[in-house]
Amino acid sequence: MAVSTTMVVVVTAIYVVIMLILGYIGYKKTRNTEDYLVAGRNAHPVVIALSYGATFISTSAIVGFGGQAANLGMGLIWLTVFNIGVGILIAFVVFGKKTREIGQRLKAITFPDLMGKIYQSQFMQVLTGVIILIGMPLYTAAVLIGGAQFIKETLGISYGISLIGFALIVAIYVVFGGLIAVMYTDAVQGAIMLVGMTFLLIATYLLLGGVSVANTALTNMADLVPVKLAEQGMNGWTVMPDLGSPIWYTVITTLVLGVGIGVLAQPQLVVRFMTAKDNRSLNRAVLVGGPFILMMTGVAFTVGALTNVYFYQTQGKISAQVATAGNIDTIIPIFINSAMPEWFVVLFMVTLLAAAMSTLSSQFHAMGTALICDVWGRGRECALSLRANQAGVLVMIILSVIIAFLMPGSIIAIATAMFMGLCASAFLPIFAVAVYCKRPDPLAAKASLIVGALAWFIWAFFVNTKYAAVFGLSKALLGTVGILGYPWSAIDPIVIALPLSAITILSLQYMRGGCAAEAQTA
């Protein structure tokens, strides 16, 4: 349904004005580059937690992964477990404190800058920045698509207009406000997301007759699983797919491991650790971040699966059959617009806007600074120029919008898993050694970075058929989507690339003297 234009305009205008005011406050407080890039290293723990969580959780999680849950079932709840255990506890406790201490000591301002300074290598900084510039636009495009799809369904306007308008709003405050503005808006957006998702969970269960009735109804729909999915191992929406089946590999290796582990090495999230005043702030942030991630992802995956019950009861169809042109990224927007009252549709639109804008602002910030400070600006004292960083952000926004127009349907969750898997494969081993090894070896790190990135790209381009179909390189060069058969064609690149990257750095680090030896030059 198309909701009241007046209500949409009023609510959206209020939201946008609040965001712009926060952006302006951030702009006024941004007195130097350190303010722009790491929020002056004095952020409040609640702001850190909400900013980290809101940056982590986007329309990709709500719309894209919610759609995947509608299609593949509640097995995605395992991703929630990983998000909390790995993305919050391990990230903050194991990596966060060391990152803050080292980042502050070395005066690092971006993730590539941190790697370059720890390994005392310009090559590390530049290549890390290049990988971010290659991979992150896929993720930003996916988030843009999620927001644009919901705006399109809600307002009844064209996808192109909703995409461009959405990108413009984000661009205005992230270009001018820097990371102080980004973290202020993230905190408010995180609060909005928490309210919206809590109501969505309650409203969905009330609509379907309660928790027990709704879950039982979904379990009893197992015989409605499409034949194509059943042949690939799916047994229903409340049970895991068959072990070792194609769908099991997709759920576990791509969605759960790709995103669940990949979060540890997300450049835009690592920077959040460097904004903390002290380690106590990070400890306190965990207490807020854990419950926040539980509500965001847990609700999205639960409600996504339950949309099958609603659509079957009201239309006699499962969710995938209701999706526009078979695009599962439209399932959550269609459900919200069909099942919820008009006022909540508008509230949820703002929730999704908040989710998307919080992630996009941090992504654009990370890409812009990678382009200007870490790649183009080496040796040019780029960090002294706020205008140069702002120009870099603007360039990456335009690139992301172009990619969003070119990407196929049902791509949001896949594109998200792509980028996070690439980050884990290329960055996680060098990041772990950098913060925990007293004498990290630059040659070992260079080799690990190259091996991890190359292994991921080769597997994504030529082996994993889901990814290879998106890129089209294997088909164009070899006439086939993938060069290896099942099960290799279903295994995510992270399963291959991350171990290779880790083995490379650990073996070379050991052979060249270990962590206690003097740093080697390379």
pLDDT on residue 517? 40
pLDDT given at position 473: 92
Range from 101-110, 196-205, 429-438 carrying the lowest mean pLDDT? 101-110
> Which of 202-211, 230-239, 337-346 shows the lowest mean pLDDT across its residues?
337-346
**Residue 21 CB-density burial (10 A; 0-12 exposed, 13-18 middle, 19+ buried):** middle
Angle at alpha carbon of residue 498, lines to 494 and 499, rounded to 5°: 125
Give CA separation, 492 vs 5, 68, 236, 258, 467, in Å: 43, 16, 23, 8, 9
Task: Give yes or no: residues 472 and 330 share one domain.
Answer: no
pLDDT score recorded for residue 494: 97
Give Rg (Cα) of the chain: 22
Q: What is the percentage of the chain residues whose pLDDT exceeds 70?
A: 87
44 and 91 fall within a common domain = yes
pTM confidence score = 0.88
Question: What string of DSSP letters covers 94-158?
Answer: IIIHHHHHHHHHHT--SHHHHHHHHTT-HHHHHHHHHHHHHHHHHHHHHHHHHHHHHHHHHH---
Rounded Cα distance between 234 and 228, Å, is 9
The answer to whether the CB of 203 falls within 8 A of the CB of 362 is no
Residues 490, 349 share a domain: no
Mutual angle of helices 342-369 and 122-155, in 10-degree steps = 160
Are the beta carbons of 392 and 398 closer than 8 angstroms? no
224 and 366 together in one domain = yes
Q: Are residues 109 and 242 in the same domain?
A: yes
Average pLDDT on 72-91 reads 91
Please write the tens of the pLDDT for every residue from 134-183: 999 998 998 888 888 888 878 888 889 999 988 887 777 666 655 555 66
- What local confidence, expressed as pLDDT, does residue 177 receive? 56
- Decide if pLDDT at 60 tops 70: yes
Which of 422, 445, 466 is the C-terminal boundary of a domain?
Answer: 422
Query: What are the residues whose beta carbons fall under 8 Å from the beta carbon of 32, sequence distance 6 or more?
Result: none
Are 331 and 478 part of one and the same domain? no
Examine the domain organization and report whether 416 and 445 are in the same domain.
no
**Statement to judge: residues 205 and 98 lie in one domain:** yes
Please list the residues that pair with 276 across neighbouring strands. 43
Does residue 172 sit in the same domain as residue 216? Answer: yes
Is 431 a domain residue? Answer: no
Total Cβ atoms within 10 A of residue 511: 11
Task: Evaluate if residue 39 carries a pLDDT over 80.
Answer: no
**Residue with more model confidence, 45 or 90:** 90
Residue 128 lies in a domain: yes
**Domain range enclosing 99:** 5-422
Domain-terminating residue out of 378, 398, 422 = 422
Q: What is the pLDDT of residues 250-267, one digit of tens each?
A: 999 999 999 899 888 988
39 part of a folded domain: yes
- 512 confidence band (pLDDT: 50, 70, 90): confident
Write down which residue in 422, 451, 481 finishes a domain.
Answer: 422
The residues near 336 (Cβ < 8 Å, ≥ 6 apart) are 150, 153, 154, 200, 344, 345, 348
- Please, which pLDDT band fits residue 80 given cuts at 50, 70 and 90? very high
* Residues 241, 234: Cα–Cα separation, whole Å: 5
Task: Assess if residue 352 is contained within a domain.
Answer: yes
Question: Is the pLDDT reported for residue 321 higher than 90?
Answer: yes
Q: What is the pLDDT of residue 27?
A: 63
Q: Is 214 exposed, middle or buried, given 0-12, 13-18 or 19+ CB atoms closer than 10 A?
A: buried
| Least trusted range by pLDDT, from 386-395, 457-466, 485-494 | 386-395
Q: What is the 3-state secondary structure (H, E, C) of 303-324?
A: HHHHHHHHHHHHHCCCHHHHCH
CATH number, domain of 64, equals: 1.20.1730.10
**How far, in Å, CA of 32 to CA of 39, rounded?**
10
Do residues 445 and 505 touch, judged by C-beta distance below 8 A?
yes
Token reading at 87: 């993305």
pLDDT top residue among 18 and 119 = 119
Place of tokens 């307002």: 155
- Residues making up the chain, counted from first to last: 522
Residue 353 and residue 15 in contact, taking contact as beta carbons nearer than 8 Å: yes
Q: With 50 as the cut, is the pLDDT of residue 518 above it?
A: no
Q: Which whole number is the average pLDDT over 374-398?
A: 68
Q: What is the mean pLDDT of residues 412-437?
A: 93
- Whether the ω angle into residue 267 lies within 30 degrees of 0, i.e. cis, is no
Q: Nearest Cα to 143, choosing from 355, 460, 420, 367?
A: 355
Q: Is residue 316 part of a domain?
A: yes
* Domain total in the chain: 2
**Which of 194-198, 338-342, 459-463 has maximum average pLDDT?**
459-463
| 77 shares its domain with 33 | yes
- What distances in angstroms separate CA 171 from CA 116, 224, 295, 309, one per listed residue? 28, 44, 28, 39
**329 and 470 together in one domain:** no
Is cis: bond before 499, omega within 30 of 0? no
Look at residue 386 in the predicted model and tell me its pLDDT: 62
pLDDT tens per residue, range 373-385: 778 765 445 544 6
Judge if 394 and 446 occupy the same domain.
no
pLDDT in tens, 294-308: 888 999 999 999 999
